[in-house]
Amino acid sequence: MKDDELDAIDRSILYYLQQDARRTSSSDIASELSLSPSTVRTRINKLESRGVIRGYNIDIDYDRAGYPLYTKIICTAPVTERDTLAMQAQKFGV
């Protein structure tokens, strides 16, 4: 595994932190994953130092974690109006 890749344990830690990082302790996560709290703390520290965890609201760099973020836009406007709407959207950077 390369240094910038996350394993299943790292991904699980991120999952639990995403649920409620402020109220989830390393002991809580350790219990869920059958690990020691010190192992979880060490992994969290590494995720922080690597920039995967950027804060505790939790702000994950999904590209670094291997989860690119996509947006899907569905247009239900009549076909005759789509060109005009697309041009208007471009003005707003959409």
What SS3 state is found at 53?
Answer: strand
pLDDT tens readout for residues 1-28:
456 689 999 999 999 999 988 899 999 9
What the block records as the tokens of 61 is 């760099």
Q: State whether the Cα torsion 39-40-44-50 is positive or negative.
A: positive
List the chain residues with pLDDT less than 70. Answer: 1-4, 94
Complete domains list, the chain, with CATH: 1-67 (1.10.10.10)
Q: How far is CA 78 from the centre of its chain?
A: 35
Contacts of 28 (CB under 8 A, 6+ apart): 16
Enter the pTM of the model.
Answer: 0.60
